[in-house]
Structure formats: structure tokens, C-alpha cells
Amino acid sequence: MPGLEDLYREIILDHYKSPRNRGSLEPPAVRTEGHNPLCGDEIEVYLAVTDGIISDIKIGGQGCSISQSSASMMSAAVKGKPIADVRALISRFKHMMSIDEGGPEPDTSAPLGDLEALQGVVKFPVRIKCAVLSWNTLAEALETATA
């Protein structure tokens, strides 16, 4: 279905050209970094959690269009959400990217929305790490924020 592929391509390019939630947050926000040494992608995630809700998130870094678009889309998808919902979304996204860590089947009620545009990345296995980098970095930030 070429129309759908074009729409998905537009969503990814829009997030690359106009990233959402770009910047940084001052402490006590948690800051984590993710790196993909194979391609040089770098992601910074700044996370503020208030009463179990992601009250703010900012992203920084540099890299390919897939890593930067995924980070932008991720930040927009999780801002204002409860931590439990964000963890379910992380699981669902990684499952969509075919990264099954042997855990239980993800909660399919976690809506992916625009994130489904990144599903085409699975056709290019070397790029999956680009798409998942920000999600792994977010998971690390959540662990630090809730410790």
C-alpha cells in the first residue's frame, strides 16, 4: 500500500526535521545517555517524574534520521503518561521492532499511534538499533528515576 508508506515516511521526516521536546532539564531531572558505537548515534534523555507520571521529558543528541525521529516520537508519546503505561509502551515498541527479550507478550492495549511509522525499519535489521536506542535510554532513565 504505497499511500500508507508515504504517510509513514512523512511522519518520520517531520519528526527528524522538527523534533519534539528537544533540549535539556535541570536537576533533579534524571539524565541518561545512549550510544550506538556501530553508527555513532547518540541520545540524551532528560526525565522528570512527578507522582508516578512523566511530567516532562527532553531529548538531545545526534545521529541518523531513524534514531532522531524515534527519539522525538518517543518523547511525544510518553510525556504526561503514568510510568506503568510508559513501561508497557516500551515493551510494545520493542516487540514491534522484533526485539523480544524473552519476557511476556507485551500489553497490546498500549496504543502505538504514529510510532507504527517506524515498523518499516524491521526490513533493515541493521537500523533496528537506531530506532530502539532512545527507548533503551528511556528505560534506563525510568529505572534511575524510580529507584
Residue found by looking up cell 533540549 in the block: 23
So what's the pLDDT on residue 3?
Answer: 62
Residues ≥6 apart with Cβ < 8 Å to 49: 30, 55, 83, 142, 145, 146
So what's the pLDDT on residue 2?
Answer: 55
| pLDDT tens, position by position, 100-143 | 555 666 666 667 888 998 998 898 899 999 999 999 999 999 99
Q: List own/partner pairs for 9-18 with CB under 8 A and 24 or more apart.
A: 9/117, 11/73, 11/114, 11/117, 12/65, 12/66, 12/69, 12/117, 12/118, 13/65, 13/69, 15/68, 15/69, 15/72, 15/73, 16/65, 16/68, 16/69, 16/72
So what's the pLDDT on residue 5?
Answer: 74
Domains of the chain: 2-145 (3.90.1010.10)
**Cβ of 101: how many Cβ atoms within 10 Å?**
7
| pLDDT tens, position by position, 61-71 | 999 999 999 99
The DSSP code sequence of 66-134 is: HHHHHHHHHHHHHTT-BHHHHHHHHHHHHHHTT---S-PPP-TTS--GGGGGGGGGGGSHHHHHHHHHH
